[in-house]
Structure formats: structure tokens, C-alpha cells
Amino acid sequence: MPPPNTLTVKLSTVTPLFLGGAEPNERAELRPPSLKGLLRYWYRALDATYRENEPRYFGSHDGATGQSPCLLRISNWQEGTEEWAQERHRERYTRGTGTHSTNGLIYLGYTLRMKPNQRKAIPAGTRFELQIIPHPKSDSEELRHAWLGALWALVHIGGAGSRARRGLGSLRIDGWSGWKEECDYLPLPCRMSTPVDWRKATGIADARLLQRWFDAGKAHDRTALSEGRLFALVMDGYASWEDALADAGLRLQRYRQRDGERLKDAQQSAATDYMVVKSHLGQRTPLVTGPRRAGFGLPLTFRYGSLGGANTEFRGTLHDRMASPLFVRVFKLGDKFHAAYIGLPTPMLPTGERLREKDGQRGLDWHPEAHGVVRDFIDHLGNDVLRLDP
């Protein structure tokens, strides 16, 4: 029997979890240290004072606070060896032919088959149990808020493993017990049957409830659940996670590639990133700014089969990577799977840092609409989604 102050959480994987250990191409596994790292990440997203409080709640290696005041256990877990079914997904979800073809599922999981990447996954529908056991001398309301809030955000905003920001590694809390007052405070989507039911039960307003526990502050140095966050739940439900994620990916793919990104400059009303960069590569047309969709994250790659495979890539002048502020994930409501798009305030590159093209030395200014591209995409979805923004 666990101690009486234990939080017990029953979880399941909604989409495959590509979370590797020492040999990610051999097996997928979720160990307590990996999960604890994810909980730290989402705690930081919740609490602007994380620098001060994180060592008290999660421990540190600097000797000042020592080990974590909570013991984390995972039970009923199996290692996974499921492979990304690239060919099956290609056959089932590809629309169109040639350079005009689209495939939302492969689009969201495209790095999973890039050599030498052959990551294995824990299959969707795998169930496991988590226990969080505070040390009796450290147990407090604040400690429980930190761990439970981080777990709620990890499961309902984020995900785990490779491509977690693009819908893989979505998790579901099937039930929890042990910290009655704190658990009763946060409604669970697993108890909802439809998007409308969720909205009636406050939906992402749960994040507003978390603001009574934390001050998320501004996103100066990390992704934050702060003012300006966006949440859109796709109204159409599907019988499988694959169908739901393929639809979500197709909407994003069409928007990013050609259909949705019309520049608002009247003189370039028909221009898109796709056409501007194609003209740059094919006709040596100089770029005036970086691509608009760099706001979705870096590095950003363009490839053109119609130009003999010509390609280019955009990064920061000092930093190669910038985390995407857009999270795609899948919820299971009743017997249907619904995709969701979540936009969180996320720092772009450090103030003043510009963009550069692959092998180029000249810095490019950010496109004036890049910082609003996630909001524009979600607005673009219109009545196809249920907005649960705060």
C-alpha cells in the first residue's frame, strides 16, 4: 500500500510515444527521470518564479536543496518497439500527386523516418500508472500545486517524446486519486464526451484555474502559459487517432505551404513564402525579409522538386533552432478523437537577432507578420474549431 499522501494517476497514450532511452532506434521507454524532466519543463511554463522555487519542489544538483522532496514511480509500463508506419500512412492519407500532393500525418511526423532515425514507439492505447509520493516532512499545498499543475499541463497542453509539439506523444489522464482537494479543483477532459461538454466544464479555462496557483508572468526566457495563449479544438471527431492527426496536419500543411499564407501587403497580395523563396532560388530574386512562417519555428526548410531538388534553409544568425509556439495534440473525448491547436507565448530569438539563409552571411529582418502567424493560422480555421481561449 502506498503512503496515504500519495497521488495516484492512471494514464494512457492517445498517440504513439516516441520517447527513447539509451537506444531509441531499438526500443521506446519512459523512465522516471525522463518524466521528471518533462514535469520540470511544464512547471517553468506555469510559474514565473521558477528559478527560486523549482529547486524546492523538484530538487537540484547544486547541493543547496538536494534531492527532490517527491518520489516518482511508474508502474504497469511496457517498453515499446512499434515502428512509424510510413508507407501505410502514405497510402492511406496522401492526397493529390507529385509536387502538389499533401499528407497531413507524414507532414507532422516527417523526422521519424529521416536516416539514421528509426525511432521506436510505445503504442497508442498503452495504459500505465504514476505515483507521486511527497516526503512527509516536505509535503505542503505549494508542493502539491507544483507537481499536479505541471502534470496537468504536460498531459493537456504538451506531450512526451519526439514530435510532441506536432501531435505524437499525446497522453490522457484516465483518473486520479489521493490529493482530493487539488484534484477536484481541475476538471478532466476524460470525463467529457464532446467539445461542447468540455467548454461547459471550462476547458482550457483550467489553465486560468492554474493561474490561481501560479503567476505565469511573461514569456521572456521560456514557453509560458501566460496571457495571449490560444486554444482551438477541432469540432470533427474521428474514430482513430491517425484520422484526427492526419486532418490536423493537413490543415497546417495547406496553410504553411501555399493556401493560407497570403501576405497582407497590397503589392504582394498573391505572394506566399513558397513562391517568394522559389523565385529567390530559381531567378536569384533578392529576399527583402525572412519568410513569414519562420514564426512557426526554426530551422525552416524549403525544397522544390520543380527546380531540380533545389533547397534552402533559414536559421538565426547566432542560433540554429527556435522552438515552435504552436502545439498540435490529440484528445480522446468519449469514443472520438479530436485534434487541438494550442498557441503559447514563446520567446523568439534573442532581441535583435536576425535570420540568415543557409550558407549565407547577410542577416535578414523578420517578416513583420511572423510573430502573429500562429494566431493568424488559428483564426484561419474559423468555425471548424471550438475556441477555448481564455
DSSP 261-282: -----GGGTT--HHHHHHHHHH
Ordered per-residue pLDDT tens for the chain, 390 residues: 778 899 999 999 999 999 877 777 788 888 899 999 999 999 999 999 999 999 999 998 765 667 889 999 998 777 899 999 999 999 999 999 877 789 999 999 988 877 777 889 999 999 999 999 999 888 999 999 999 999 999 999 999 999 999 999 999 999 999 999 999 888 888 888 998 888 776 544 456 678 789 887 877 788 988 888 999 999 999 999 999 999 999 999 988 876 444 444 434 434 688 889 999 999 999 999 999 999 999 999 998 888 998 999 999 999 999 999 999 999 999 999 999 999 999 888 888 899 999 877 679 999 999 999 999 999 999 999 999 866
Report pLDDT for 65.
64
| β strands within 209-334, DSSP E | 230-234, 300-304, 310-316, 326-333
Strands 336-343 and 127-134: unpaired
Report pLDDT for 203.
47
Q: Cell 500512412, residue?
A: 89
Q: Domain-by-domain residue ranges, the chain? A: 7-99+104-218, 234-387
**How many CB atoms lie under 10 A from the CB of residue 165?**
21
CA dihedral 322, 323, 325, 331 (to 10 degrees): 160
Q: What is the pTM of this model?
A: 0.92
Cβ partners under 8 Å of residue 165, min gap 6: 158, 159, 323, 324, 326, 327, 328
Q: d(Cα 173, Cα 377) in Å, to the nearest integer? A: 28
107: three-class secondary structure by DSSP: helix
Element containing residue 177 per DSSP (H, E) = strand 171-177
Interval 9-28: pLDDT, tens: 999 999 999 987 777 778 88
> Three-state SS string across 153-172, please?
HHHHCCCCCCCCCECCCCEE
Report pLDDT for 268.
44
Interval 296-329: pLDDT, tens: 999 999 988 889 989 999 999 999 999 999 999 9
The grid cell for 94 is 496522401
10: three-class secondary structure by DSSP: strand
**How many CB atoms lie under 10 A from the CB of residue 190?**
18
